[in-house]
Every structure is written in structure tokens, then in C-alpha cells.
Structure 1
Amino acid sequence: MSQENQAHATQQQQMLRSTLWSTVGNFASRLLGLVYVIPWYMWLGEHAAEGNSLFAQGYNIYTIFLLISTSGINVAIAKQVAKYNSNGQPELVFPMVRQTIIIMTIFGGILGTGMYLMAPLLAKGSGWGNELVAVVHSLSWALLIFPGMSVIRGFFQGLNNQKPYALSQVAEQIVRVVWMLLATFIIMKLGSGDYVAAIVQSTFAAFISMFASWAVLLYYLAQEGLLKELLIPNKAETSKEIKTGKVLLETLKEAIPFIITGSAIQLFQMVDQFTYVNSMSWFTDYSNTDLQVQYAYMSGNPNKIIMILVAVATSIGGVGIPLLTANYVKKDHKASAQLVLNNLTMLLLVILPAIMGGVLLSRPLYTVFYGMPDNLALGLFIVSLIQTIFLALYAVSSPMIQALSQNRNAIRYFLYGMVLKLVIQVPLIFLFHAYGPLLATALGLALPIYLMLRNVHVVTHFNRQTLMKRSLLIVILTVVMAVVVLLVEWVLGMVYPVSDRVSSVVHLVFSGVIGASVYGLLATWTRLIDHVIGATKAEQLRRKLHLG
């Protein structure tokens, strides 16, 4: 093997390892954030849908402020760390990280205060009163802690070490879920039964959980001998005149595009939040409570499930950034093109069968978490699952184009999509009611996705024919899996139809395991799995399974 091919193989191994840890961390934390829904939703009783709408709208507001304060910082830090190490300037890394933590902590405090003070205005615009004000107040505290933590996560990401990042996410989610469930049970089952108080405590859990995440990150900094270097300048720094202000400014400039484009999905959801209830009150005679329940069906309920898939996409899109940036800085276009191909292949290989499986098993999947759905709830759930392909493709395309220093184009393409969303939002709500915002989001994201991928091709010249062949093969395998799942569901439905949570679990486990097994075997046999676990491990797996 040539030296160049060895380097590319090493990069592929690094990306696969980082993708594995990042995906595990994101998936595990999202899964924990989904499993709690079953008891939590049940304990809220008759106020479950309304309470989930309140929770979702509070979190939408919080997420926007959180993204403004942190989104892009971890990716920008990762990009800068990779760049300085590739350019032989490692002495710039620690002062940059140190100064960025201080700046971001101050910035988080400012934004947290702003969010607290703006709560009444934001609640009114969402169609709520003091209930949402209390929820927004409880969430504003987390902004004091999260920005600095995001810098440390980006530092590890830039070193291609996703393990601390992943484990910090899991620790954060465990503490958050435990607090939410305990508080909700005490209030709804042992206390006053005030569902608003339960929601407020559920959202305040975001602040409590940050301490667990920080503890994990500090532990790994200390274990790997990085904590002392981060806290105390070393001789390499003090022996040179390092303009930390310039380095910091460069990092923040890198972060701004990531902040803007990384907020796209949440900004689209905020458009839904501020337009749906208000628009529908003009067009229809639904009560505010009815509209809040519809919003839960449209956004709050599906999001807890589909965001697991988006989290996987974000992991795939994020881990390749340092390597893609390093190749771009070195002008290694062949390696850049290969990373782009591998990123997109991994995404489609995971996301297409997951969406198809979710659609085919939508009724039992929804029932497990929220109880038996009516036609509107189930229809909105299915459309939301299908829409996930646009969310996932955007989550991968956006950081990819910015890793290639196409920041201005990334922002411009995002703005095109946002303008399209705003123009068609109300007309689509008028025509399709609760389905309107979902269609507007799909169309609004499709435009920047197309423009971004076209730009990435112009820069890297990745092989589009190879991508099309892989995509077609993935679609064929997904269709085969779908036929198998439909047959299994048809037989199982005659014997044991979906009627409650228990029967739904049986359908999910039985049909899901068979569908996943069929797809996994086909992906291994066709060698598509090589792009996820690596050629060596895939070959070992084929030998064990006698797939030749």
C-alpha cells in the first residue's frame, strides 16, 4: 500500500472511530431522553398533550438561545485545533481554548439574562401566558454553564477523541432524566397535581444535568494530562509572543457561520411555534387548548423520536470536520472527496432504513410512548418521520461545506431556505392545517441542501456517480427490508393486533429485529457496511456469517 493510501486509510479509521463514539453518545443520550417519555407522559394524565406542547415550546426557545451561545463553538474549536496542529502550531491551541472558555461563559451569562427578561414576550408570541414564562425562566439558568462546556467538547473533538464528548452527553442525560422523573412523580402523584409545576421542574433539569457533564469532561482532561496545560500556560506559550486576541477572534469568526446555519432546524421550529396557533386562530374556530394539542401532535410528540435520527446525522456530519479541514488546508482534494463520499454514504446507510422502519411501524411506535393515536396524530407522526431525511441531510451538509471554508455560501444558502419557509408557511397552514408547517420545513431545507452539496462538489469533485450507485443500492436494500417487515406485520397483526402498549412493544421488537437483521445482512453481503465499521472488521464479520 502506498504512503498516500495508508494515510487515507488511517483517516478513514479515525473517522470511523470518532463516528462510533459520537453516534453512541448522541444516540444513547437521545434514547435516554426518549425512554423517560413513557412514564412522564402517563403521569401527566389528562394534561399530557398540553403539557408536552408547553415543554416543547419552552425547549424551542431555550434551544435557540443555547445555539446562539454555543452552536458552532464546539465545531469551530475542533476546526481550529485541527488546523493549528496540521500547520505545526500546537502552541496556539491551549491559549485559544482558555480564552474562548472565558469569553463564552460571559456571553452565556448575558444571553441567559436576556432570555429570562424576554420570557413574557416570547410566551405571548407562542400563544401562552404565565405557564410558558415560568418554563423559560427555569431553562435560562442552563445558559450560565453550557457555553464553557461546549468549548471543552470541541477541544476533544479537534483531537479526534470523541469518547469524553460522548460520555459527557450520556452523563448529562442520565441526571436530567432522573431529576425529571422524580420531580414529575412527586408533583403529579404525591403532591399538588399541578402539571405546569411538573413541566417547570422537568425543564429545570437541564441546569442540574450540566454539572454531571462538566464532571466527566474534567475527569478526562485530568486523566489525559491536559487539565494542567489548559489551566497554566506552558513554556512554549510564554517563550513566544502569541497574539491570543487574534487567535480568539479568528475562532469566533469561524463559529458565527456555524451558529447561524446550525440553528436552522430550531429556527424553522420557532417559525412554526410563532405562526401555527396564531394563523389557525384566524382560519378556524379551534380553541387555544385544541391548537396547543395539535401543536404537540405536529412538533412536540414526533420531535422526541425523530431527533434521535437527527442526532445520528449530526454525529456523522460533525466528526469528519477536523479531518476534512485538515485535508483542505493541505490541499489534499482526493482525501477530501473520499471523506465527503464516506460521510454521505454513512448517513444514507443509517437514516433511510431507520425512517422506513419508523413509517412501517408508526402505529406501535407512537402507541408505546404516547398511547393509541387518533388519525391526525398518526398522520402527522408519519409525515414528520418522512421529513427527517431533509433534517438529516441538512445536518450533514451544513458543517461539511463550512469545513471547506465556504462559510459565506453556507449562510447565504441557509437564508434562501429561511426566506422560502417564511413565504410559504402561512399559505401552507391555510391549505393543509397542521401538515402545512411540516411541508414548509421540508421545502425550506431542500433548497439549501441542494445548493450546499453542489458547492461541496465544486470544491472537492467527489464522485457523484459513486454516490448515486451507493444510494441506489441502499434504497434497494431498504425496499427489500420494507417488504419483509410488511409481511411480518401482516402475519403478526392477524394473530396479535396493536391495541395497547404491551402489544405495541411486541410488534416493535419482533418486526424491528427481523427488519434490522435482514438489512444488516444485506448491507454486510453487499459490502456497504464497510463504510461504517471499516473493511477489516466487515470482512471478519462476513467470514463469521459465511457471506463470502
Structure 2
Amino acid sequence: MEYYARLHLISKVLGFIYIIPFMALVGEQGYALYRYAYGPYTILLSLSTVGLPLAVSKFVSKYNELGNYKIGLTLLKYGMYLMVLTGFISFIALYFSAPILAEIVVRNDDSGGNSVEDTEYVIRLVSFALLIIPSMSIFRGYFQGSKSMGPSALSTVIEQVVRIVVILVGAYTVIHIFNSSTRNAVGIATIAAFIGGIAGFIVLLIVFLKRRELIKKEIDSSPNNKEININSMFKELIGYAIPFVITGLAIPIYQNIDIYTINTLFHSIGYNNKDAELINAVIGLAQVLVLVPVSLATAFSMSLIPGITSAFIGGKMEEVQHKISQTIQAIMFFTLPAAMGLCILGKPVYTMVFGLNKNPELGGVILQWYSLAAIFFALFTVTAAILQGINEQKKLIIGILIGIIVKIALNLVLVPYIKELGPILATYFGFFISILSNIYVIKKALQYKFLPLFKQLQEVFLLVFIMSLSVWGVKWLTELWLTENLGIYSHALITSIISILTGVLVYLGIGLRLHFVKNMLGRYKNSAS
């Protein structure tokens, strides 16, 4: 498990780091074009897999435990057929809807920014990845269900590495060697998803072929190789998987609402296409930075979710409530300081990561305002997982849909008045409604009392307050001490590094002495081993 977790973490980190050199190559306009392609692709990828990789993983694990190894191979076979079909349908849908999507997001009556033709081109290129990624996902689900995490993790890293190499080498070659357009560089970056998917699939296929004899022996020696009805199997699988799809789509849907409404909304208040796309790109970059601590915090806290599910099934309600408190404490311990740090250091951190040519003034302001979204994203992810663990999926979906409606409505209402801050506040309100709905269901279903949790979190709040004061003070003193001759980028780099190190040392220096932190880290170590 630790090996799998490390590889998964490497994949997440790589997925963030490559954005920095890619942005240096293609600029905000190129990154906006990249977002136009990847936004709908992410949605259709989730829809094409319909959550089956996770469901297959659970079913293979279940039947292996029952001594029926044959059904796992049957699931892989028919699941692969289904993924090829749904992947092809999704490819067709995205490829042929590209002109419509392009006309929604950009307009041709404005000479600045990306054109409809550019947008249509990159959306069509990224659609090819839908022919391979769903099939690869079902393969991963099979290995995970067989309790073999290595092949899945390795293929994830290989896919990511190949994709990033193609993106960066391809974009550099197109721009600096062939002196071609940003559109062609972004085109290479979008087709890289398809190439990376092929690499990941080949890794899984090689491992499967090497283990073919072992799998055959397991099937031959299985004491309970019974056939099951394929139609009823898939009906049960899809019914189980759909809530996971909708939950996983929540953050991508919010991102796509921004991608596909921001340009139009800013056009309506007098912005030209280039300036609207700049805001679109900068909000996307802020999202990338914010999602880094979210992915790390949720990976930590989600390891506690299986314990909640098993305790609920066993009717141990006190244990369920205790584990929910532990999970929320963990998510707040990791996410809150990161969010506050980004809020205080918005401008220097944005400048340090993306450079002076990437509008640090606008980027810094947007990052400062967007930073607290990390808390909303993390709390939503964890409360949604808790609801799934206690079989309250329908109420979870209702809460998500209400939040999305609020987000769309507030985007329309707020942008004319507070401009680039409108989509950010709309995101806060949308997720707040969904989280509030989740909390209400948890409270009602489990008779969970939140007041004791707030008392338990007082230490975290005090710790974050002390850390925030330290970071703000060091930032102020560093900016006072540094000379103006140093240069804006060097100024931002030194300020960010010193302030971040101070925050980490203060937070961990005090935090690791707290009793609940020692217990939390001990629980995570035990769950990972």
C-alpha cells in the first residue's frame, strides 16, 4: 500500500509541476486554449467510464474472497467491451460537438485571443484519448480488485510521465524549432493524453500477459467457479457506480461552468476576447495551485473512510461518529493552513510559480481570494465520501445538483458587479450549499453532534492563527528588508520561500506536540501499512 501511495503521489505532483514550464511556453492565451479542450474531455471521460473501474475493483475483490477467480476475468472481458463502446461513443460525441463547444466559449467577431477554429481543433485532438483511457481504467480496476496495486500505480506514473514529456518536448519543438503557432503547440499538448494513455495501457497489458499462467492456475484451483448473469451483473455494477461518478464530477463541473461562461459574461460587460481569456486562464491557474493541498489532504483523510463504512455496516454508531470526527479533524489540520498560507502569500507565490510575464498582480489577487476554496473542496469530498459510506447517495446527489444550480446563477449575477471575483464567490456559495446539505444528512442519519467536533478543532484553529500571524509578520519584515534593486521575481521568490518555511516550522513545531496530532499520524501509519 505504501508503494502504491508513493507512486500515486508522484503522479499527482507531476500533474502540477508540468504546468509551470508549459505556461512559460504557451502563455495565458495558450493555457486558456488548453483548458477549453480538457474541460469537456474530463466530463466525458468520467461519463464514459461510469464509475465501473472502482465498481469492478470491489466486485473482483469480493468474488476472489469467495473463491471465484473466474468471475474476475469475466468482469474484465465484458467490462473491456463496454469501455470500448462507451469510449467510442464519448469520442464521437466530443469530436462532433467541438464546433458547438468552440462557439460557446469564444467568439469570432473579436480579433484578440483564440479563435473558434483554434478551439475546435484542440477539442477534436483531445477527444482521441477517449478511445483508450476508459479501457485502461477498467484494466486498473481489475488489478486493484486482485489486491495488486503495483501495476495500476506504475501505469499511472508511466502514463503521466509520457504525457508530460510529449506536452513539453512537443510544445518546445513546435514553438522554438519549427517556429509554429501556439495553437499547434497546444494541439500537441492535447493529443498527449492519447499517447500517454497508450503507454499506460501497454504497461498493464504486459503485466497481464506475464501473469496469464498464474491467473489460469488460480482459476483452475478455485473452489467456487460459478457463472453469473452478465446483464444483472452490469445492472448492479452501474447502480453502485453512478453516485461515485456524480461525486467525482462535482469539481470538474464547477471548473467547466467557469471555462464555458467566463468569456461570455465578461464580453457582456465590455471586455474584449483577449482580456476575458486572460481572466479565464488565471482563474484556472489559481485552481491548479489550490487543488495541490486538497489532493494531498483528501488522500490522507480518505484513508479513514473505509473504517467509517465497516463500522456503519456493523451497527457500531459510536465508532462511526468517532471516526467522522477524526476524518474532519485530519482534513482541517492539513487544508486550513495551506489555504491561509496561499491567502497571505497570494502575489509572491503566484509570481514565484508562474513568473513575471503571467500577470502577477491579477494572479495574486485571484489566488488570494480563491485560496479558501481548498477548504470547501476538501470538506465536500470528505462529507460526500461519508454519505456514500452510509448509503445516502440519493441525498448526496440532490445536494450536489442544488450547489451547481447556485453556482451557475451566481456566476450570472455577480460577474457584472464584482468582475473576476464573481466566479470565485459563486464557487464558494455553491460548495457551501452542498456541504451544508451533506452535514444535515449526516447529522440526521447518524444523530451526529457537531458541537464536540468544533471544540476538538479549537486547537487547530489556534494553531493556524499563530502560523498565519508568523507568516504575515515574516512576509512584512522580508519585504521591508529586501532592497528594491533586487528585482520583482527575486523579491517574490525570497519572500515566498522564507515565509513558507517559517509557516511550516511554526505549524509542525507546535502541531506535532499536540496529542490529537500524534494520534492522527499514528492512525494513518497503521492504515497505510
User: Into which bin does the TM-score normalised by the smaller protein fall?
Assistant: 0.7 to 0.9
- In structure 2, the CA distance between the partners of 1:467 and 1:440, relative to structure 1 (3 Å rule), is same
Partner of 1:468: 454
Quick one: which amino acid aligns to residue 297 of structure 1? V
Q: Which runs of 5+ in 2 are unaligned?
A: 107-114
Q: Specify which of 507, 522, 525 is matched with residue 534 of structure 1.
A: 522
Q: Specify which of 60, 74, 78 is matched with residue 39 of structure 2.
A: 60
Deviation per CA, 1:16-60: give whole Å up to 9, x if none: x67x954x445432322332233322233xxx1111111112111
Contact 1:342 1:531 in 2 (8 A): no
- In structure 2, the CA distance between the partners of 1:220 and 1:405, relative to structure 1 (3 Å rule), is farther
Deviation per CA, 1:44-97: give whole Å up to 9, x if none: 3xxx11111111121111111112123633443445456667888777555334
Partner of 1:73: 52
Instruction: Report the Cα distance in structure 1 between the residues aligned to 2:437 and 2:60, rounded to whole angstroms.
Output: 28
Q: Specify which of 157, 169, 172 is matched with residue 156 of structure 2.
A: 169
Partner of 1:186: 173
SS at match of 1:263: helix
Contact 2:67 2:225 in 1 (8 A): no
Instruction: Report the Cα distance in structure 1 between the residues aligned to 2:466 and 2:183, rounded to whole angstroms.
Output: 46
Instruction: Report the Cα distance in structure 2 between the residues aligned to 1:440 and 1:505, rounded to whole angstroms.
Output: 31
Q: Specify which of 328, 332, 339 is matched with residue 348 of structure 1.
A: 332
Deviation per CA, 1:360-407: give whole Å up to 9, x if none: 222221112322345333211211212222122222222331222212
Contact 1:393 1:449 in 2 (8 A): yes
Quick one: which amino acid aligns to residue 136 of structure 2? M
Instruction: Report the Cα distance in structure 1 between the residues aligned to 2:327 and 2:149, rounded to whole angstroms.
Output: 16
- In structure 2, the CA distance between the partners of 1:322 and 1:195, relative to structure 1 (3 Å rule), is same
Q: Specify which of 178, 188, 197 is matched with residue 210 of structure 1.
A: 197
Q: Specify which of 505, 512, 521 is matched with residue 524 of structure 1.
A: 512
Partner of 1:13: none
Contact 2:36 2:123 in 1 (8 A): no
Deviation at 1:252, TM superposition (A): 1.1
Instruction: Report the Cα distance in structure 2 between the residues aligned to 1:187 and 1:466, rounded to whole angstroms.
Output: 58
TM-score by length of 1: 0.84
Instruction: Report the Cα distance in structure 2 between the residues aligned to 1:90 and 1:368, rounded to whole angstroms.
Output: 52
Deviation at 1:165, TM superposition (A): 4.3
For structure 1, which segment, 170-179 or 333-342, has the greater mean C-alpha deviation from structure 2 after superposition?
333-342
For structure 1, which segment, 316-325 or 485-494, has the greater mean C-alpha deviation from structure 2 after superposition?
316-325
Deviation per CA, 1:167-198: give whole Å up to 9, x if none: 43333222221111111111111112311100
Partner of 2:467: 481
Contact 1:26 1:315 in 2 (8 A): no
SS at match of 1:193: coil
- In structure 2, the CA distance between the partners of 1:25 and 1:429, relative to structure 1 (3 Å rule), is farther
- In structure 2, the CA distance between the partners of 1:214 and 1:399, relative to structure 1 (3 Å rule), is farther
- In structure 2, the CA distance between the partners of 1:399 and 1:362, relative to structure 1 (3 Å rule), is same
SS at match of 1:430: helix
Q: For 1:2-151, list aligned pairs within 5 A.
A: 21-22=4-5, 24-44=6-26, 48-70=27-49, 72-80=51-59, 93-127=72-106, 128-151=115-138
SS at match of 2:419: helix
Instruction: Report the Cα distance in structure 2 between the residues aligned to 1:118 and 1:292, rounded to whole angstroms.
Output: 21
Quick one: which amino acid aligns to residue 506 of structure 2? V
- In structure 2, the CA distance between the partners of 1:268 and 1:189, relative to structure 1 (3 Å rule), is same
Instruction: Report the Cα distance in structure 2 between the residues aligned to 1:335 and 1:474, rounded to whole angstroms.
Output: 22
Deviation at 1:525, TM superposition (A): 0.3
Contact 1:69 1:108 in 2 (8 A): yes
Contact 1:95 1:233 in 2 (8 A): no
Quick one: which amino acid aligns to residue 370 of structure 1? F
Quick one: which amino acid aligns to residue 347 of structure 1? I
For structure 1, which segment, 356-365 or 287-296, has the greater mean C-alpha deviation from structure 2 after superposition?
356-365
Instruction: Report the Cα distance in structure 2 between the residues aligned to 1:529 and 1:160, rounded to whole angstroms.
Output: 30
- In structure 2, the CA distance between the partners of 1:399 and 1:537, relative to structure 1 (3 Å rule), is closer
1:289 corresponds to 2:274? yes
1:242 corresponds to 2:259? no
Instruction: Report the Cα distance in structure 1 between the residues aligned to 2:148 and 2:321, rounded to whole angstroms.
Output: 23
- In structure 2, the CA distance between the partners of 1:510 and 1:54, relative to structure 1 (3 Å rule), is same
Deviation at 1:114, TM superposition (A): 1.3
Contact 1:313 1:395 in 2 (8 A): no
Partner of 1:546: none
Contact 2:68 2:219 in 1 (8 A): no
Q: Which runs of 5+ in 1 are unaligned?
A: 1-16, 539-548
Aligned positions, number: 514
Contact 1:79 1:403 in 2 (8 A): no
Partner of 1:375: 361
For structure 1, which segment, 470-479 or 488-497, has the greater mean C-alpha deviation from structure 2 after superposition?
488-497
Instruction: Report the Cα distance in structure 2 between the residues aligned to 1:29 and 1:536, rounded to whole angstroms.
Output: 20
Instruction: Report the Cα distance in structure 1 between the residues aligned to 2:334 and 2:59, rounded to whole angstroms.
Output: 29
Instruction: Report the Cα distance in structure 2 between the residues aligned to 1:515 and 1:392, rounded to whole angstroms.
Output: 21
- In structure 2, the CA distance between the partners of 1:65 and 1:343, relative to structure 1 (3 Å rule), is same
Partner of 2:109: none
Deviation per CA, 1:257-294: give whole Å up to 9, x if none: 2222321111122222222221222222x211111112
Deviation per CA, 1:209-228: give whole Å up to 9, x if none: 123433554566678x6885
Structure with more relative contact order (C-alpha pairs < 8 Å, separation 6 or more): 1
Partner of 1:419: 405
For structure 1, which segment, 414-423 or 168-177, has the greater mean C-alpha deviation from structure 2 after superposition?
168-177
Quick one: which amino acid aligns to residue 513 of structure 1? L
- In structure 2, the CA distance between the partners of 1:51 and 1:239, relative to structure 1 (3 Å rule), is closer
Instruction: Report the Cα distance in structure 1 between the residues aligned to 2:77 and 2:301, rounded to whole angstroms.
Output: 26
Instruction: Report the Cα distance in structure 2 between the residues aligned to 1:438 and 1:167, rounded to whole angstroms.
Output: 36
For structure 1, which segment, 454-463 or 85-94, has the greater mean C-alpha deviation from structure 2 after superposition?
85-94
Q: For 1:357-436, list aligned pairs within 5 A.
A: 357-372=341-356, 373-436=359-422
Q: Identity, % of aligned pairs?
A: 26
SS at match of 1:525: coil
Quick one: which amino acid aligns to residue 197 of structure 1? N
Partner of 1:4: none
Quick one: which amino acid aligns to residue 29 of structure 1? S
Instruction: Report the Cα distance in structure 2 between the residues aligned to 1:81 and 1:107, rounded to whole angstroms.
Output: 21
TM-score by length of 2: 0.87
SS at match of 2:33: helix
Contact 1:98 1:231 in 2 (8 A): no
Instruction: Report the Cα distance in structure 1 between the residues aligned to 2:12 and 2:370, rounded to whole angstroms.
Output: 17
RMSD after superposition:
3.1
Instruction: Report the Cα distance in structure 2 between the residues aligned to 1:358 and 1:269, rounded to whole angstroms.
Output: 20
- In structure 2, the CA distance between the partners of 1:308 and 1:168, relative to structure 1 (3 Å rule), is farther
